[in-house]
Structure 1
Amino acid sequence: MKQRKKTTSTMNWIPPISLSPICFFFFFLLPIVAHGLKDQTSATMRLELIHRHDPRVFQLHGKKQSPLDKFERVKELAHRDMVRYARRTNLETFDMPMHAGRDLGAGVYFVQVKVGTPFQRFWLIADTGSDLTWFNCNYKPQNFTLRRKRRSQSRRRMFSPQRSRTFQPVTCSSQECKVDLSHLGSLQACPNTSAPCLYDFRYLDGSGAQGLFGRDTFTVGLTDGRKGKLKDMVIGCTRSMIEGPTVSKKIDGLLGLGLSEDTFVAKAASQYGGKFSYCLVDHLSHKNISNFLTFGSTISKASLLREIHTTPLVVVSPNYGLNVVGISIGGQFLRIPQIVWDFNANGGVILDSGTSLTLLARPAYLAVIEALVKPLDLVEKMKAFDPFEFCYSSKGFDENLAPRLAFHFEGGARFEPPVKSYVIDVTPEQKCIGIIGVDSPGPSIIGNIMQQNHLWEFDLVHKTVQFAPSPC
């Protein structure tokens, strides 16, 4: 949620696919023999048609076998299908590699960005609940008075504005600094007209970033193979970090995907069709497993998705809100006061890729927990630890014992996450209910673990959210 924050690609949805109908272009032709028959007029030539992932193809390139496992090979084929479709229909789309933060010990998802001219690469937290895009930075302007933590700076990748021909600092005397960027934490301090515009951006968990504003160019890879440019993008050049659950020395920075002016989403969507989407791989996936954050139109989902749901998007800047009708457990609607879902009463539900766990306002939380815990009485209980209240032994755990949870949205859309998204693995031996109660009134948040293994597409023009189950 906004900069007052947290507790802690179209992303290429890959349908179940049969290899047999994959188009001709995913195969290779190898000559076998030209057969000369007695009747020369009936002579024929035969070519063997083999799959592009056949071991012989890799042997031609000095490799024993494909470096990809079976599932990743199918994902590659489907991604190529989408690229070919974009070329045929002249759709401009770009995507950015995205993977889970397990190997960094972080419960968030990271996206690779290329910023500056020539570009510099960084892995940033993909956060739909925040609107400032920032990264660690070694810019050294005069009169820069914010304190910086020298201990951990040397371990981080740094953006060097001096190396970028397209970087322009925002001055503190400008209207942009005084007014336009005030929602991003711009400071009023201005020792002279050419001094940089400083910011102090804080999150709900107490962590934060301090630095100076600038503008620069992002380079993106279009799905037709060309390069695209997002010019004049507002960025935060962070010199000092206040570490906490959101911000730590392990990260390069944060990609603000929130809904407000001057965000990455506002700029990218305005150039690429007003849509963006992502599909979050399992949160326990290693960094070699990835998907994409995608901006622009995508292949017709009617031909890809078996179960697609659509519901109105509620803009609660910078957050993405959904109108919830109710929650059911095991097919039974729970008795939850409707005021919990009312944005006008400081309630409502927000989708947030930067929050790991799902947070429910207390009345909803109590109803959900009561309905979930009772069927799990047969499972061996383990001592819970903060922030979890109910934990169980993983040994012999049967997902069939856990009732199915479903969120019901306006328009009849039904979101039914897999059991692993709300009875989550916290250690190899222990599972816990990954839903936390928060004070009411206040918004509830559907976090990234609950969102995993689903495609989520945000249509900012028609103000809708579409989602469907997907192996990502």
Structure 2
Amino acid sequence: MGKWVLVVLALMVASMSCLAPCSASSFFKDKPWERKRPILSVPTASSSFASSSIVLPLQGNVYPNGFYNVTLYVGQPPKPYFLDPDTGSDLTWLQCDAPCQQCTETLHPLYQPSNDLVPCKDPLCMSLHSSMDHRCENPDQCDYEVEYADGGSSLGVLVRDVFPLNLTNGDPIRPRLALGCGYDQDPGSSSYHPMDGILGLGRGAVSIVSQLHNQGIVRNVVGHCFNSKGGGYLFFGDGIYDPYRLVWTPMSRDYPKHYSPGFGELMFNGRSTGLRNLFVVFDSGSSYTYFNAQAYQVLTSLLNRELAGKPLREAMDDDTLPLCWRGRKPIKSLRDVRKYFKPLALSFSNGGRSKAVFEIPIEGYMIISSMGNVCLGILNGTDVGLENSNIIGDISMQDKMVVYNNEKQAIGWATANCDRVPKSQVSSW
């Protein structure tokens, strides 16, 4: 289906995602771990929830695939589906044979919906709609429509079905969760990849992590670890990480629908660029990172200044990404050009003198194209309709564990080996 971009409509999930070439599904896809006390003063979560988590392996990469995906089993009997894990949207949906009026080609047969319809007045249904525009034309079912900024869309009804999962303590579970039966899809302009649907990981009530939490299965925490070499893992709950090893920053209270730390300052090679009011959103549905027009212009100017006199020239014939450079011979690895580029960072205030710094090394904003050029994986978001928003996409979250703790309203991160799933551990934070 492709990683799309959500826009806010009357009858849809409010979300943030990006546009092609990253093909994202949401609106708007280092240092070693350092032990430290948490920088946030927040109440302890309830101990009534299991300390165990759910861990799911990821497949894919930023380039050349352009997406990460997770395999989930749904239904009775359970069948596998490829889903795009998207922290920028709430609703999980599958292309569905209801029958399907319009569906895109995937590697799996269309989902056969259960007969367990979510009624129109159900709180989960109501959470998908704005209260002023929520009309129950058919009280027995919940209709939904999501539209994407690239012209893509999904239309369907909300159902409940079984999601067989395994906890990290070894216990199998079979929760019934609400998902969208999407019977009319338009892929829009996003590039094709074999997705059966979207895995909504946002902050809303209908998101998978919220539903698992409300059933007392895990705490309301979701996180991911994207491997720059491909793959990684996704997790629900707080049983696999030590919170004292992560850098934390509060989620913005002004933007409750998104995983946003609010406004940050852009750093280049450890120094401020002078840009201090950048509204930032973490979005796993975006393959690449997006800066607004001002930040993008500042960044590209700094890069071009650094490259002056260096053996790299702009590669006008490489359309992999908007801005690429070629060397005297084909570039095989980022190691070959590391000395020509400087690290980036975004610095966030924590309400006092301390700062939470999200570091972006060269691997977090550059790729090597199939033509042997080095390309900038940060795009101009203003050009694709994101206005002044700045999106941290998959490329900049590679080789980091990123945690969205909805109970403590905080986002945390730390450099990590995403090849290795951490052992389950009880969190005392």
TM-score when scaled to structure 1?
0.69
| Secondary structure of 1:298 counterpart | coil
CA distance in 2, matches of 1:175, 1:301: 37
CA positional deviation for 1:246 = 5.1
Question: What percent identity do the matched residue pairs reach?
Answer: 24
**Partners of 1:131 and 1:259 within 8 A in 2:** yes
**Of 112, 117, 121, which residue of structure 2 is paired with 1:169?**
117
**Partners of 1:100 and 1:281 within 8 A in 2:** no
| Alignment CA distance shift 1:295-1:4 (3 Å) | closer
CA distance in 1, matches of 2:113, 2:191: 22
| Secondary structure of 1:383 counterpart | coil
**Of 104, 112, 118, which residue of structure 2 is paired with 1:160?**
112
CA positional deviation for 1:176 = 5.3
**Of 177, 194, 209, which residue of structure 2 is paired with 1:265?**
209
CA positional deviation for 1:442 = 2.5
Query: 1:61-114 deviations in whole A, cap 9, x for unaligned?
Result: xxxxxxxxxxxxxxxxxxxxxxxxxxxx972211112122569x6422111212
**Partners of 2:264 and 2:349 within 8 A in 1:** yes
CA distance in 1, matches of 2:241, 2:206: 30
Structure 1 window deviating more from structure 2 (352-361 vs 236-245): it is 236-245
Aligned-pair RMSD on alpha carbons?
3.2
CA distance in 1, matches of 2:234, 2:165: 11
| Alignment CA distance shift 1:390-1:181 (3 Å) | closer
- The one-letter code sitting in structure 1 at the alignment partner of 2:347 is H
| Secondary structure of 1:314 counterpart | coil
Which fold has the larger relative contact order, with Cα–Cα distance below 8 Å and residues 6 or more apart in sequence? 2
| Secondary structure of 2:111 counterpart | coil
Match of 1:209 in 2: 154
CA distance in 2, matches of 1:371, 1:406: 14
**Partners of 1:93 and 1:297 within 8 A in 2:** yes
- 2:256 equivalent to 1:309: no
Match of 1:95 in 2: 55
Match of 1:297 in 2: 238
| Secondary structure of 2:174 counterpart | strand
Which of the two has greater helix per residue? 1
TM-score when scaled to structure 2?
0.75
Match of 1:365 in 2: 296
- The one-letter code sitting in structure 2 at the alignment partner of 1:223 is T
**Partners of 1:320 and 1:352 within 8 A in 2:** yes
| Secondary structure of 1:310 counterpart | strand
CA distance in 1, matches of 2:118, 2:243: 45
Match of 2:183 in 1: 239
Query: 1:163-217 deviations in whole A, cap 9, x for unaligned?
Result: xxxx511345x46597443259x98583x655x4332211122211122221223
CA distance in 1, matches of 2:106, 2:416: 40
Tell me which structure has the larger Cα radius of gyration: 1
CA distance in 2, matches of 1:213, 1:442: 33
Match of 1:24 in 2: none
**Partners of 2:80 and 2:108 within 8 A in 1:** no
| Secondary structure of 1:367 counterpart | helix
**Of 215, 225, 244, which residue of structure 2 is paired with 1:279?**
225
Query: 1:120-179 deviations in whole A, cap 9, x for unaligned?
Result: 221100001111100111134xxxxxx8236x45864321125xxxx511345x465974
| Alignment CA distance shift 1:278-1:386 (3 Å) | same
| Alignment CA distance shift 1:333-1:153 (3 Å) | closer
Structure 1 window deviating more from structure 2 (445-454 vs 381-390): it is 381-390
**Of 412, 420, 425, which residue of structure 1 is paired with 2:368?**
425
Unmatched 5+ stretches in structure 1:
9-14, 17-88, 141-146, 342-347
| Alignment CA distance shift 1:170-1:452 (3 Å) | same
Unmatched 5+ stretches in structure 2:
1-5, 7-13, 24-31, 34-48, 419-429
| Alignment CA distance shift 1:102-1:126 (3 Å) | same
| Secondary structure of 1:450 counterpart | helix
